[in-house]
Structure formats: structure tokens, C-alpha cells
Amino acid sequence: MTTLAPSPTRSQAGPAAARTTMWSATKLVAGREIVVKLRDRTFLVSTILFLVVAAAGTVLPALFSDGSSTVAVVGAGEVGGVLDRAGMEVVAAADVAAAEQLVRDGEVDAAVVPGDGAGGIRVLAMDRTPDSVVRALSSAPPVHLLNPDAVDPMLAFLVPMAFSMVFFFLSITFGVQIAQSVTEEKQTRIVEILVAAVPVRALLAGKVLGNGALAFGQVALIALVAVISMQVVGSDAGLLAQLGPAIAWFIPFFVVGFVLMASLWAVTGALVSRQEDISGASGPAQLVIMAPFFLVIFLNGNPTAMAVLSYVPFSAPTAMPLRLFFGDAAGWEPVLALLVLLGAAALCITLAARLYEGSLLRTNGKTSLRAAWRERETRVS
């Protein structure tokens, strides 16, 4: 902009203000939510904490795992070659006593010395059997896996946990924040100015959108940090490929599921007049977050239960991606479940909008759902 029009001297003709549309109002409200949150120290600290945990969770196991062992070997021979081929560092020791000393000093993890065992060798170690060394020196029978695609049991435990936790924590933390933000506006009465200026639905949509963007941004950041740390420590790259499709489906389910939860929390916030009362009114919202969380955690080994949970709107955001991860769902199933979830979210936000409108300007104590539903205020133009 090169020149500025002179400050308009106001006449009755009307101000420079264009009218705010529903969408521009929604964007403004969402923008404020984001800016306020990004300056909130608690939010920043918790985000950083999440990132540290995500990085630590991927880096530390790699650091503490066996890694390559160092093995002392007495006398050159085929043993040293075998261990070397198995990826271990081989140190030559003069005699059994020297090898034992190396083990005691912690210079090596184990020592292979002449002995009377099979193959004429004996393995020395401090306090636990060095499995990798034993495996390398044993002759293993051929193994034929009948279900080679089955998920590693460790992953089968961790992945449902991770998905459920992410959805659970974000639904709760951002849900409570939405409720608090709604109640703050009610409590300070700024809501009267806001409602006079913009449609009530724009306020609701803006809050859901703003907090949704923050929640999604936080997850994306955490995921990014986890992936980068995995690359840095060279963890199993196959895991990412394995998780890929489940994560790709988790994103749309997460987004729609979040909108569903957020609308419940917005109503929770609108029903009370003081921030202190939110926790008392948030029972239903907490229930529909907690129950699916525990059901998915405890029942994820049960295909029938999971099939049901993957279509129930509140548990679908975690249950369906998990079924995909375990390879239990047909290709059309996530599409159908997502449609069901979309329908539920649309219904829920429509009901929420009405309850929100009906309770937002009632600033005396707690508004009952019934009163909020029947309220006829503010539904003008």
C-alpha cells in the first residue's frame, strides 16, 4: 500500500466497515483462539514437554538396547570368524585368565574360551547370559513361520496405546480449553458484544476450528519429532512403512472425531457461568472420551468388539485405524465408518449450535439442557 486515504470523517452515511460474513467472523475467532494459546505459557511448556517425551521415547530404547557386543576370544580360529560375521567386535586374549580379566573389567561383554562344552568352547560373562553370542555360536534349526505378517507383539501393544493416548489427551486438553474459552466470554460478559456483532455460530465454529488447528499442529509436530528421532538413531524403518496406512486413516478420523468432541465441550462451557463450574458440568463429555479410550485399550485383541467399536462414532477415531493396522478391516470399512462419524459429527454440531445459542446469554448459574434447547433468544436473522 503506497498511499493511505485520509482518515474518513464520519457522517451518517455509514462507516468504512464492510459487513462481516459468517466465514470471515469464524476466521477471526479462530485466529484469536490460536494467538492467545500460542502465547499461553502453560500451553507452550506442555507442547515442549510432549516433544521431549516423543524424542526420548524413540531415542532412549535404541541407546539402551544391546547394540553390538564386544567379545574376547582366546586363540585364533573359526570362533572369531563366526562372531565377526554376526556383527560383533572380536578382541584377541592371550589366555583364559586374561580373557576373564577383560570380562571383569567390563572391557568386553563376554569371552569365548576353550572348554569342555559342545564344540570345545565355554562362554564367560558377568551376570547374564549373552544371548547374541550364544545364538551366534549355536546351530539353529530351520524355522518356518506360519503367519509371517503378524504384528510384533510389542508393537501390538504399543500402537493401540499410542493412538488411543493421542486422541484421548487431545480431546481432553483441547476440549477443556474450548469449554474454558467459552465460559470466559460468558463470565466476562464480552459475549454480549460478540453476539451483537457476529453470528453465534461463527463463535462456535471459530473456537472449534482454532483449537482443532492447534491440536492437529501439536500432533503433527510430535509425530515429526518422533520420526526424525527414529531416523537419527536408525530405528526400524520398517515400522514406519507398517504404520503408514493406519496413520493416513487416523488423520481424517482424528479431524472429524475432534470436531465431534469439541462441539460437546463448547456446549459444556456454554451451560455454566463460571469457569469453576466447568468440571462439574463436564461429566457427559468426559464419559464419551474416557469410555472409548479404555474400551479400545482393553479390547483391542478382540476382533468382534473392535469391529463394533470401529463404527461407534466416539471410538471410531482410534478403533478403525487400529483395525487397519492389524489388517482386520476390509478396504471399504474405513470409508463407511468415516461416513458414519461424519454424520454423527454433523448432527452433534447442529444440536450443539442450538444448545450453545440457547445458553450463551443466560448468565445466571447453570443452564439446563432443556432450557437451552427451548431458548428462543438470539435466533434472529
Partner 1 sequence: MLRVASVDRSYGDRRVLDDISFEVAPGRMTGFVGANGAGKTTSMRIILGLLAADSGTVTWNGEPITRAVRQRFGYMPEERGLYPKMKIREQLVYLGRLYGLTALAARRSVDDLLDRVGLAERANDPLEKLSLGNQQRAQIAAALVHDPELLILDEPFSGLDPIAVEMIAGVLRERADRGVPVLFSSHQLDVVERLCDDLVIIAAGAVRASGSRAELRSRYAAPHYQLVTDGDAGWVRDLPGISIVDLDGARVVIELAVPDDDQAVLRAALARGPVRAFGPIVPSLAEIFREVTQ
User: Interface residues with partner 1 (CB under 8 A)?
Assistant: 1, 4, 7, 9-12, 14-20, 25, 28-29, 32, 36, 184-185, 188-199, 361, 363, 376-381
Please list the alpha-helical segments (H only) found in the chain: 22-38, 41-64, 78-85, 96-105, 131-137, 153-187, 190-197, 200-232, 237-271, 278-281, 283-299, 303-309, 316-325, 332-359, 369-374
Q: CA-CA distance, 362 to 183, in Å (whole number)?
A: 11
Would you call 99 helix, strand, or coil by DSSP?
helix
Q: CB-wise, 28 or 290, nearer to partner 1?
A: 28
Q: Which is nearer to partner 1, 104 or 189 (CB)?
A: 189
Closer Cβ to partner 1, 29 or 320, answer by number: 29
Q: Which is nearer to partner 1, 11 or 139 (CB)?
A: 11
Q: How far is the CB of 166 from partner 1 (least distance, A)?
A: 29
| Long-range interactions of 94-102: CB distance < 8 A, separation 24+ | 98/72, 98/74, 99/72, 99/73, 99/74, 99/124, 100/124, 102/72
Shortest distance in whole angstroms from residue 28 CB to partner 1 = 5
CA distance 268 to 207: 13
Q: In angstroms, give the least distance from the CB of 294 to partner 1.
A: 36
> Residue 379 and residue 357: Cα distance in Å, rounded?
8
- Of 329, 336, 312, residue with least CA distance to 260: 312
Closest CA to 29 of 236, 221, 192, 182: 182
Of the pair 44, 150, the CB lying nearest partner 1 is at: 44
Q: Which is nearer to partner 1, 13 or 154 (CB)?
A: 13
Rounded to an integer, what distance in angstroms lies between the CA atom of residue 319 and that of residue 310? 5
Q: Whose Cβ is closer to partner 1: residue 24's or residue 138's? A: 24
State the nearest-atom distance from the C-beta of 282 to partner 1, in Å: 22
Closest separation in Å from C-beta 368 to partner 1: 14
Q: How far is the CB of 258 from partner 1 (least distance, A)?
A: 24
Please name every residue paired with 70 in a beta bridge, in sequence order, or none if there are none.
Answer: 89
Grid cell locating 227: 520420526
